[in-house]
Amino acid sequence: MLTLTLLRHAKSDWDDESLDDFDRPLAPRGKKAAPVIGQALKQLGSAVELVLCSPALRARQTLDLVLKELNPGTPDVVYVDGLYHGLPDHLLEQVIKHADTAGHVLLVGHNPGLEILAAHLARGGSRDDIAALNTKFPTAALAQFTFSCTAWTDIPDVSGQLIHFLTPRSLA
């Protein structure tokens, strides 16, 4: 069985309009939310083996705060340019390309690609979680899926089970 966790970056700061979108840092609200999601990910109990992260500043800062909350034995981290504004098919291609033997991959990225991918993968699971996911995939939201296969290349052909959909607000 494979586990894929999708994490949207935490809330970014829009105060400095001179910054390029790629270089926007986290807002104070994002700096508060990311550790909360990291603690929740730790409590879910499945150790992340590989992280694929957008190189955008707000995604990297979100990941840094999340990783501080996880158990020792930091997972391998790969920053993938294609995750910044990546379309859903491309996001899944990056997981297939980089995951190899990892049983649990965390992908840290952006909307709308992440939200569309999550909705596409959620073919089973809690109706309430699926409804919440399809309503909104807010900043710092986490969607965790399991797949009843052993190879990442099989993911497009199997049904994903949404086992957790968490938002900072749902954890407050």
Query: 133-154: per-residue pLDDT in tens?
Result: 999 999 999 999 999 998 999 9
Mean of the per-residue pLDDT values of the chain: 92
HEC profile for 115-136? HHHHHHHEEEECHHHHHHHHHC
Residue 160: count other Cβ atoms within 10 Å of its Cβ. Answer: 22
Query: Which fold does the domain 2-120+132-171 belong to in CATH?
Result: Rossmann fold (3.40.50)
Q: How do residues 78-123 score in pLDDT, each as one tens digit?
A: 999 989 989 999 999 999 999 988 999 999 999 999 999 999 999 8
CA–CA distance, 57 with 84 (Å, rounded to integer): 10
